[in-house]
Amino acid sequence: MAPKQIIAISSFKGGTAKTSTAIHLGAALAAVKGGKVLLVDFDAQANLTTGLGFDPDAHESMAPVLQGAKPLSEVICKTSIKGLDLIPADTWLERVEISGPLAGDRYSHERLKAILNASDYETILIDTPPSLSWLTESALIAATHSLICATPEFYSVKGLMRLSTFIETLSLRHPLTLLGVVLSFWNPRGKSNDAFLTVIDRTFPGKAFEAKVRRDAAVGEAAIHGKPVFETAPKSRAAADYLALTQELLTRL
């Protein structure tokens, strides 16, 4: 079996298209790379879950697996996309670390890593909460690679700086490779583009992806249908941008 590639997709704030990035990279990797790809919704808001057409209240999350109450296989859902599976999220995730056996486990951050490494998936993407929480730290410890999402706006870039410090500190104890920074809602004619790219390059030198995801209403429409834009609007600019991003991601991997 090939080495696992576990990618934690992170952002310090909401509204950076983090979940859309996870959905579309997962779908594209399943199509382009082949094999089985697993998406893990590790954000209690469950936007990834609903974005793939699942009801968070009707499915269990990683919570009972982390608690040791269920095997991983019992919480995996098959999506409508060939080769792409999902572990949904629910509200129980938000405080999972302070309940049951996790509450007294000083190494609870290691649980997710052990669970995912024991699975038969070679490619796993984890959608983390937009905060530096126990869930985010667990995801980054489990990951072999990290992917950061941002938008060309002031508060998004400020969040990058805090996330940079967090990841740098964590990687001293747990090896982690930063694949790059994905910019969404990109306007190729934006007046402040150069300034934002300069700040990103200063924070994460050479890590900004060349492929950027332009603003496209087709993404929101696809989410309403619970499918990636490749299925609902395959000729849209968002579909082209996410495919270009996937190809660049594969070269970095």
Per-residue pLDDT of the chain (253 residues; tens, 9 = 90+): 566 899 999 987 778 899 999 999 999 999 998 889 999 999 999 999 999 999 999 999 999 999 999 999 999 999 999 999 999 999 989 889 988 889 888 889 999 999 999 999 999 999 999 888 899 999 999 999 999 999 888 777 777 878 888 888 888 888 899 999 999 999 999 888 888 899 889 888 999 999 999 999 999 999 999 999 999 999 999 999 999 999 999 999 8
pLDDT value for 65: 97
Total-model pTM: 0.95
Q: DSSP secondary-structure letter at 37?
A: E
pLDDT value for 132: 83
Angstrom distance (rounded) from CA 151 to CA 13: 10
Residue 245 near residue 25 (C-beta atoms within 8 A): yes
At 184, is the secondary structure helix, strand, or coil? coil
Residue 32 near residue 175 (C-beta atoms within 8 A): no
- Enter the CATH code of domain 5-252: 3.40.50.300
Tokens of 249: 């991601």
Residue 9 near residue 21 (C-beta atoms within 8 A): yes
pLDDT digits (tens, 9 = 90+) for 82-125: 999 999 999 989 889 988 889 888 889 999 999 999 999 999 99
CA 10 vs CA 16, 20, 41, 177, 218: distances in Å: 9, 12, 12, 13, 23
Closest CA to 62 of 47, 48, 73, 50: 73
pLDDT value for 152: 84
Closest CA to 159 of 190, 110, 203: 203
pLDDT value for 101: 87
